[in-house]
Structure formats: C-alpha cells, structure tokens
Amino acid sequence: MSSLVKPGRYGFADPTTCILLLLLLAIAQLAAGQGEGTSKKMTVEECLSLADKNKQAGDVKEATRYLNEAAMKVWEDKNYDDAINYFNQSIELNKQINNASGIAKLNSNLGMIYSDLREFEKSLNYFQASLEYRLRFGEKTEIISTHINKAVVLNSLKRYNEAILSLEEALRLSSEMSDANQMKSCYGMLAETYEKAGNQEKTIYYFNLYRTFHEMVQRNKLSDAKREIEAARLHALETELQKQQKELKLLATSQQLKEKEGELSTMSNEMKTLLNNNTKQQLAVSLLRNQLALDNIKIAETQARNSAQKMWMTISIAGLTVVILFAVVLYRNYWMKKKLNLQLSEQNEEIKTLNESLESQVMKRTMELQSTLTDLKKRNRDLDQFSHVISHNLRGPVANILGLGKVINLDNPSDPHNIEVFHRLLGSTKNLDAVVSDLSVILQVQDNQSIPKEEVEISGIVDSVTNSLRTEMEATNAEINITNMKIVKALAVKPYLESIIYNLLSNAIKYRAPLRIPIIMIESKLEGGNFFLSVTDNGTGISDSNLEKVFEPYKRLTMNGSGKGLGLYLVRTQVEAMGGRVEVSSEEGVGSRFTIYIPQNS
C-alpha cells in the first residue's frame, strides 16, 4: 500500500545494493555513536518550558523550534491530540513572523497526523494548505512531495481522478528537474492509482515506466556506494600507514634510551665497588683500568652510534619504500578512480540518451494515442450521424412503402385506386434510393481516407466548376470574382477539391438574397505550409445559433432552395479526409464566408 513517506508499492532492490547500503549505514551509525552522550535529550516538559521562555523573551523563532520538538516527541508516542495542539500553536507563531516555509511544513505534518487517524478529509485540507504556501514560496522538491502526499490521501478517499491530476503535476515538475528518483515514485503511484481506478491499460503503461526508472536509480545508487566504500578504504589505509611510521620512530628512540641507561647503571656500580673496597693504589690502578674501560665504552658508543645510524638509515629506507609503495597505491587508485569516473560519465551519457529516447517514445506514443482518440471521437460522431440518417431518413420511405403495401386492393388488381398507390410506391422507392445513394457517397469518401494528394491546378478546377454551374449562374445573374487567386497549384485530392468548390459555389447561388444579385468571391493563398481557399457570398447568411449545424448531414436550415442538406457535410468530410479543416463565419442578412485549410504535405 502507498504511504505518505514513501509513495508507491513497486520496486525491489538487488542484494548487492542492499549489502553496500547496510555497510555504509553501519559506518555512519558507528561514527554517530562516538558522539552519543555529548548532548542530553530534552523531555516534552522541558521543550514546552523553553518554548514559553523564548516566547516571553520575544524570540518567536526559537519558541516555535521547541514547540515543534515537543510535538514530534508526543507524535512518536502516538499522543495525536497534543501533537496537533502544539503544531497549531507553532503555526500561529510562524504567522507572526511570516515564516511561509515553516507554515507549509507544519501543515504537512498535520496532514500526516490526520492521515494516521484516518480522517482523510482533514488530512487533504492540510496538504492543500501546505501546497498553496509551497507554490508561492517553496522549492520544486517540496512541491512534488506535497503533490504525492495529497495523491495518497485522495486515493484513500477513492477520488482517483483528482489523485491522477496531482500525480501528473508532480511528474511534470520532476521531469523539469530531471529527478529520476522522483519520476520513479510518480510512475509507481500512477500505476497504483490507475489499478485502483480499474484502468489496466494505464496501470501496465505506468508500471513499465516505473520499472525502467527503478532499475536506473538502483544502478546509480550502486555506483555511489562503491565510490564511498573505495574512498573509506583508502582513508583507512592512509591512517594505518601513518600509525606504523610513528610506531617505528618511537621504537628506535626507546631502544637507544634503554641501551644508554644500562651502560650508565653498570658504570655507577663499578665506581661504588672501587670506593668501598680498594686502597688508593688500587684505586689508581682501577682508575686507569676504568679510563681504559671508558675509552672502550666510547669506542663501543661510537660503534653503537654507527650501528644506530645504519639502523636509522635502514628504517629510513624502509619508510621511504613504504612511502613509495603508498604513492604507487595512491597513483594506481587515482587512475582507477579516473577510469571509474570515465565509465560513470559514459554511463551517465547512456542514461541521458536513454532518458531522451524514452521521453521521445513516450511523447510519440502519447501523440499516437491522442490521434487515435481524436479519430475514435470522429468515428463515434459519424456513427451517431449515420444512426440519425438511418432512423429518420430511411425510416420515412420504408414506412411509406409498408403503409402503401397495406392499402393495395389485392382482390381486385384492376381497381383504379391501385394505380395511385403504385405511383406513390414508386415515389417512396425513389426517395429511398436517393438516401441510399447519399450514404454510398459518404461511405466512399470515408473509405478512401488514404488517397494520396497530387499537384492540381486551382484555376482549372474553378473554370470546370463554373462551367458546370453556367445555367444556374445565368438564371440568377450570379457573378464570380477570382481576382484574389494568389496560388496557381496546390497539393490536394483532385476529385475532392472539385466536389468541395462545386458544393460551396452551388450553395452560394441556392441561398442567395432575394433582392440582390449573387456576388461570389474566391480567394486562395499558401501560408505556413497550408493551402487556404475561401468562398464569400452576399446571400441570406446564417444565424449564430445555426452555425454549428451547417455541416451536419440532412440538416437544412431554411426551406428556400432545393438542396437536401448533404453538400456541406460532404465538404467537411472531404476536407478532413485530406487532413485539413473547414471554418465558417456569417452574418444573417449580409452573407457567409467558408474557408478550407489543407496541409501541403504528401
């Protein structure tokens, strides 16, 4: 299950990483243990007393620090009421000094406490308050963690869509920071949330991303741990070498002192014996002998000194050898470290390339999914429209045929009434055939979505269409102005473009204003990689409420004219089949302007 501290439930560390991390943790704890006992842990009462003293002294910042420490202590003992009370007191004090960062952290702590108490609505309110402060004053890392904590609570409330929005924002910020560890957490949480929401496809998608980033983070942690262990090993080796050098120096000095001490002790004993036991003559003889002995001792000292010098030279050579060996080891480790850094740099470049490739693949897949979704929406819309056509346009003629079939006088075929019924049957059959023919045209366009575009001459198509409409133009005195044709050729599907121009010009003539001569302007240009063609008329115009309906099949917005309401639907279908779009602007009583955009890519 997900938690407020470590969101997500996926991921397993490899054994080598665990061992290295445990070793580093043990070293850190050992180092920390050396300082234990140097500072006394304060009780809750002591913290509260110090908080009160600092508050009275006007040091609000210190007062809040002791209040927070008291709250943390009672929270650890699961005394939630006191923890909530102390945190709220601290919030009020932080407000006095406008400490936005402190207020955000305290709200986050209260959110965690209420989550522990399973009061998720209160928990959500505190996390939202923390987020508002951090969005204004906080770092991205703090904002990300607050979004994740908020998503955990929303999951507990089964508000999965809101949790997904919060996690997607955290993922966006993590991506901006290139924080692979945070991205891994976001992907894991998204996988878990989609699983709870019952979306298996999204669950698998985000889990695969989580697993990829988890492996990448583990590789980075292993490399960092190896570097720290190697550095600790080198430090230990250097310390041991220094220790051995000191011990060698102390050993040599101690040995020389012991030898001198023994010689002096021997001479003192001999002198006492001479004074106590010998006569003056004997003393003189003994003195001569002692002088000789002293000379021998000096010679021995000289020899000992020479031996000590030789020994010290040997020790120096040995020490120099150790230093050289140590230097060789350091040099070797330096090159190993340099080689390792080079390998790490290469791995980082590979990871960076992998990240870029992964982001590119994710973006490409997202665009493909969005395109598929758009296509599905369009197909659903077309299916709805076909359903409307079938339920209304086919049902009428079929119902007429069935009704007329019931009134035929089968007992008397020569009944004059049958002739009228047959004529009506023929009319209903023709209407049914017209509807089926229209549907056939629409289906033919939709089935030929992949027809390649070719270079077509615009003026030639316009001339061909105007010749086809010559009779209608002469009957209405219609004028067609083509002076703004700024492009000669364009990439398009020629039959579709002919049909589009024909339907737009035909509609401009059909829906002309009764008291005006139809004046139609055709303009074309090439801009931004798109072919633009517009047809403007001075006809009756279209009301604002009907602008969205003009492209629906069999949607006639006026009883004037002889159209079936299919022309503009075909215009939109054929333009979209070429990857373009069509727009309309109109003013009732003034005229209309239809503009098509066709991308100029093959």
**Model pLDDT for residues 526-543, shown as the tens digit of each residue:** 988 999 999 999 999 998
Is residue 72 located within the same domain as residue 198?
Answer: yes
Lowest mean pLDDT among 134-143, 212-221, 226-235, 413-422: 226-235
At 325 the three-state DSSP class reads helix
Is residue 287 located within the same domain as residue 159?
Answer: no
* pLDDT score of 350 more than 50: yes
CB of 107 closer than 8 Å to CB of 122 = no
Is residue 322 located within the same domain as residue 466?
Answer: no
* pLDDT score of 104 more than 70: yes
Is residue 211 located within the same domain as residue 256?
Answer: no
How many structural domains is the chain composed of? 3
Is residue 193 located within the same domain as residue 246?
Answer: no
Cα separation, 154 vs 137, whole angstroms:
24
Which pLDDT value is given to residue 301?
Answer: 64
Span 46-67, average pLDDT: 91
In a domain, 562, yes or no: yes
Which pLDDT value is given to residue 268?
Answer: 54
Average pLDDT taken over every residue of the chain: 79
Cα separation, 532 vs 593, whole angstroms:
13
Q: How far is CA 188 from the centre of its chain?
A: 12
Is residue 548 located within the same domain as residue 498?
Answer: yes
Lowest mean pLDDT among 69-83, 364-378, 394-408: 394-408
The pTM (predicted TM-score) of the whole model is: 0.36
Sign of CA dihedral 403, 405, 410, 415: positive
User: If you ran DSSP here, which 8-state letter would residue 389 be given?
Assistant: I
The length of the chain in residues reads 602
Domain boundary among 345, 380, 404: 345
Lowest mean pLDDT among 97-101, 193-197, 581-585: 97-101
Span 496-521, average pLDDT: 93
Span 378-392, average pLDDT: 58
Domain boundary among 291, 318, 345: 345
CB of 414 closer than 8 Å to CB of 545 = no
Cα separation, 42 vs 51, whole angstroms:
12
Which pLDDT value is given to residue 242?
Answer: 76
Which pLDDT value is given to residue 32?
Answer: 44
Is residue 466 located within the same domain as residue 522?
Answer: yes
Within 10 Å of residue 392's Cβ, how many Cβ atoms?
A: 11
Considering 29-33, 37-41, 421-425, 428-432, the range whose residues carry the highest mean pLDDT is 421-425
Residue 329 half-sphere exposure toward CB, CA atoms < 13 A: 14
Binned at pLDDT 50, 70 and 90, residue 18 comes out as very low
Pairing of β 454-457 and β 591-599: unpaired
Which pLDDT value is given to residue 430?
Answer: 66
CB of 566 closer than 8 Å to CB of 553 = yes
Helices (H), 408-539: 416-447, 458-468, 470-476, 494-510
Token duo for residue 249: 């120096």
In a domain, 248, yes or no: yes
Considering 237-241, 377-381, 402-406, 445-449, the range whose residues carry the highest mean pLDDT is 402-406
At 22 the three-state DSSP class reads helix
CA proximity to 476, closest of 508, 502, 500, 498: 508
Is residue 138 located within the same domain as residue 274?
Answer: no
Which pLDDT value is given to residue 92?
Answer: 92
Domain residues for the domain of 509 are 454-599
Domain boundary among 168, 187, 217: 217
235 compared with 88, residue with greater pLDDT: 88
At 578 the three-state DSSP class reads coil
Span 467-492, average pLDDT: 90
Cα separation, 351 vs 358, whole angstroms:
10
Ramachandran category for residue 535: left, alpha or beta (phi over 0 → left; psi -120 to 50 → alpha): beta
Which pLDDT value is given to residue 244?
Answer: 72
In a domain, 273, yes or no: yes
Which pLDDT value is given to residue 551?
Answer: 87
Q: Which CATH number do you get for residue 496?
A: 3.30.565.10
Token duo for residue 205: 């998608």
Q: Give burial (CB, 10 Å; 0-12/13-18/19+) of 527.
A: exposed
Which pLDDT value is given to residue 474?
Answer: 93
Q: How far is CA 130 from the centre of its chain?
A: 22
Is residue 297 located within the same domain as residue 178?
Answer: no
CB of 315 closer than 8 Å to CB of 216 = no
Token duo for residue 558: 């006026």
Helices (H), 138-199: 140-156, 160-177, 180-197
* pLDDT score of 463 more than 90: yes
In a domain, 93, yes or no: yes
Which pLDDT value is given to residue 22?
Answer: 45
In a domain, 33, yes or no: no
Backbone angles phi, psi at 122, to 5 degrees: -65, -40
At 483 the three-state DSSP class reads strand
Task: Return the percentage of the chain with pLDDT > 90, whole number.
Answer: 39
Binned at pLDDT 50, 70 and 90, residue 123 comes out as very high
Which pLDDT value is given to residue 369?
Answer: 83
Q: Who contacts 506 (Cβ-Cβ below 8 Å, separation ≥6)?
A: 469, 472, 567
Cα separation, 373 vs 379, whole angstroms:
10
Is residue 121 located within the same domain as residue 242?
Answer: no
Cα separation, 501 vs 464, whole angstroms:
10
CB of 565 closer than 8 Å to CB of 442 = no
Is residue 200 located within the same domain as residue 242?
Answer: no
CA proximity to 400, closest of 443, 369, 355, 430: 430
CA proximity to 382, closest of 452, 456, 462, 449: 449
Q: Which CATH number do you get for residue 146?
A: 1.25.40.10
* pLDDT score of 395 more than 70: no
Span 241-268, average pLDDT: 65
Binned at pLDDT 50, 70 and 90, residue 315 comes out as confident
In a domain, 400, yes or no: no
Which pLDDT value is given to residue 12?
Answer: 37
Which pLDDT value is given to residue 28?
Answer: 46
In whole angstroms, how far apart are CA 552 and each of 382, 433, 556?
A: 10, 20, 9
Amino acid at 34: Q
Token duo for residue 54: 């600092």
In a domain, 353, yes or no: no
Is residue 294 located within the same domain as residue 208?
Answer: no
In a domain, 164, yes or no: yes
Which pLDDT value is given to residue 446?
Answer: 58
At 199 the three-state DSSP class reads coil
At 554 the three-state DSSP class reads coil
* pLDDT score of 374 more than 70: yes
Binned at pLDDT 50, 70 and 90, residue 38 comes out as very low
